[in-house]
Structure 1
Amino acid sequence: MSLITLTTDYGSKDHFVASLKGVLLKYNPSAKIVDISHQVNQYDTLTASYIVKSCYNDFPENTVHLIAVDSSTNSEEPHIAIFADRHFFICPNKGFITQVFRPDQIESIVYINAASEDYDSFQAKNILSKAAIHLSNGGAIDLLGNPVEHIFEIKTQKVYFDDAHNKLTGHFIYIDHYGNMVTNIKRIDFNARRKNRDFSIDFGKTSISRIYNSYDHFNREYKKTNDASGEVFALFNSSGFLEIGLYKSNPKTRGSASTLFGLNVFDLISVQFH
């Protein structure tokens, strides 16, 4: 049985997801299709890359991951197929894959050949689905097209360490369903720089000086003195990234880290070591 995952910016109102699934099952009836997310903001390649990067490795080897976010392009900029870390990825050449893998981690990457009329509309159905069907049926990736000559890369701010001032600076990259803010600072980078020193995490006008092991760890510690609901915390999430949140927050009612602190994606966050 082959496995295909879908990540799109189509939402759930229209027919696009159903139509895409229908085509996949029509030509590979034995395929199992798993929805990763269809709630990615329109054209938001960075969010799509974070979501897929956080979970693709939980799937079996040789899973085909179809990413249809900002998926319309033209024959001058064909879609691409990638094999990396024992998984296949099919997506537009708009920077997604460079946010998930370094170039040296990519084993194979090719353009996806398509007829000119396939670019007219619904390219995920006309082009990406055909590549997914081919790979999910055991087809070789190099039969899809020629090797890619240039991988488009999104220029994003990198994590920076200022040795002179013992300061690690990153930025927020994702807002989750609870309004918690995920940064691009990884646990491995934090641990390498900390060297058992005290620290403060600074964002906006707020500063905190402790990182908890988990949500429950924060709740247990805080309950010793008060109810933890609505209190700010920092932890490294299951994907290994530093996250700032409010315990049991709800963006629609009591608020969340993103709304109450006025935080947005690309805002700066720093860790000062003392």
Structure 2
Amino acid sequence: MEKVIALLSDFGLKDHYVGTVHGVIRSITPEAKIVDITHSVRPFDLVDAAVKLKWSYRFFPTGTVFLCMVDPDPTAEPVIVSTERFYVVCPNNGVGSLMFEEEPPEALYRITADHYFIEGKGHFRTRNQLAPIAAELLKLSSPLHLGEEIELSRLKRFRLPPVKEVAPGVYETIVLEVDQFGNLILNFEFGGEAPKAVEVNGVRVEKFLPKFEKLQKGELFVSVYPEGNLQVVAYMASSAKLLKATRGTKVKVFL
């Protein structure tokens, strides 16, 4: 079985940061198969990182090590989280919260094996600390020699604002994400019932389409995002710009 390590960060691709993390991993575990989920998480944005991890993890093989490198709080303790199928190496800052709702954590380890750390000038603990530990974990397939097990209750987690029923058949939610195409992905999972309408900033979108076909450029409609959430789309255009909506914008869903 291939040894897969999946990287998620807010480093971008302009600088050398991602490349050096790759280099550290391959120096320690040459057989590692490295997959870059994304390095375009909004800087320091744990919610954005948690959403992208949730939408990605289930497509990876059992035994994958997820190295999550979004680190807004340098005091957050570096940890290893094990689930039934995966490992997550990250600061203890809540970045795995949404994944863990579906893939429950089974154990939590405070990283103590600092003899694996790389000496480096300045502060770059992802490269110097988390990456070597993730590479060793991939090689050992066990965190027992890398950290001290601590109570799962110490794992930091957060929840997204819940969907609210504000009137019979009317639900209030938020825009969870705006993707590369300007589509508005809602924090509302499609349950099989096509919505009668979705209202964003006073604009009511009533067309629901399972496929993108027979549309005029800029025409608004509702469909299902690949990960199962409702989304508001403008054909060959940006619904975010047309509706003046961003992440966190309140939306009403009529069923």
* 1:235 matched to 2:234: no
CA distance in 2, matches of 1:155, 1:30: 36
* Cα drift, residue 179 of structure 1: 1.1
**Aligned twin of 2:234:** 246
Please report how far the alpha carbon of residue 244 of structure 1 lies from its aligned counterpart in structure 2 after TM superposition: 1.0
Bigger shift: residues 112-121 or 149-158: 112-121
Is 2:26 the counterpart of 1:25? yes
Which of 172, 180, 183 matches 1:169? 172
Matched, 1:122 2:87: no
- Of 63-72 and 41-50, the range deviating more from structure 2: 63-72
1:187 and 2:190 are equivalent in the alignment: yes
Q: Give unmatched runs, 5+ long, in structure 1.
A: 223-227, 250-255
Change (3 A) 1:130 1:71: farther
C-alpha separation between the residues in 2 aligned to 1:52 and 1:98?
A: 9
The answer to whether 1:102 aligns with 2:101 is: yes
8 A contact 2:223–2:231 mirrored in 1: yes
**Cα distance change on mapping 1:203 and 1:70 into 2, 3 Å:** same
Name 1:211's counterpart in structure 2. Answer: 208
Q: Does 1:15 align with 2:3?
A: no
**Aligned-pair distance for 1:156?**
3.1
- Counterpart Cα distance in 2 of 1:243 and 1:135: 38
TM-score, normalised via structure 2 length: 0.88
Runs of 5+ consecutive residues of structure 2 not aligned to the other structure: none
Q: Please give the residue correspondences for 1:47-196 in structure 2 after superposition, counting only pairs within 5 Å.
A: 47-70=48-71, 73-74=74-75, 77-102=76-101, 105-113=104-112, 115=114, 121-145=123-147, 146-147=149-150, 148-162=152-166, 164-188=167-191, 191=192
Q: TM-score, normalised by structure 1?
A: 0.82
Take 2:141 and 2:172, find their aligned partners in 1: how far apart are those partners?
44
> Is the CA contact 1:71–1:123 (under 8 Å) kept in the aligned structure 2?
no
Give the deviation of 1:57 after TM superposition. 1.4
- How many pairs were matched up? 249
CA contact (8 A) 2:169 2:254 kept: yes
Q: CA deviation at 1:122?
A: 0.7
Q: Deviations over 1:209-229 (max 9, x none)?
A: 2322132xxx23x3xxxxx22
Task: Give the deviation of 1:272 after TM superposition.
Answer: 2.2
Q: Tell me how far 1:130 sits from its aligned partner.
A: 2.0
Letter in 1 for 2:240: S
Q: Report the alpha carbon displacement of residue 72 of structure 1 after superposing the two structures with TM.
A: 5.1
Counterpart Cα distance in 2 of 1:57 and 1:79: 23
Structure 1 window deviating more from structure 2 (29-38 vs 91-100): it is 91-100
Contact 1:71 1:124 survives alignment (8 Å) = no
Larger deviation, residues 94-103 vs 170-179: 94-103
Q: CA RMSD in A?
A: 2.4
The 1:205/1:263 distance shift into structure 2, 3 A limit, reads same
Deviations 1:10-69 (Å, cap 9, x if unpaired)? 111111111111000000011111111111110111111222211221121111111111
Give deviations 1:225-259, integer Å, cap 9, x for gaps.
xxx2211111111100111121112xxxxxx1112
Shift of 1:114: 5.6
Asked if 1 retains the 8 angstrom alpha-carbon contact of 2:118 and 2:132, the reply is no
Between the aligned residues of both structures, percent identity stands at: 24
For the Cα contact (< 8 Å) 2:113–2:145, is it kept in 1? no
SS at match of 1:43: coil
SS in 1 for 2:165: strand
Alpha-carbon contact 1:174-1:265 (below 8 Å) kept? yes
Q: What residue in structure 2 maps to residue 42 of structure 1?
A: 43
| 8 Å Cα contact 1:42-1:70 kept in structure 2 | no
User: Which residue identity is paired with 2:10?
Assistant: D
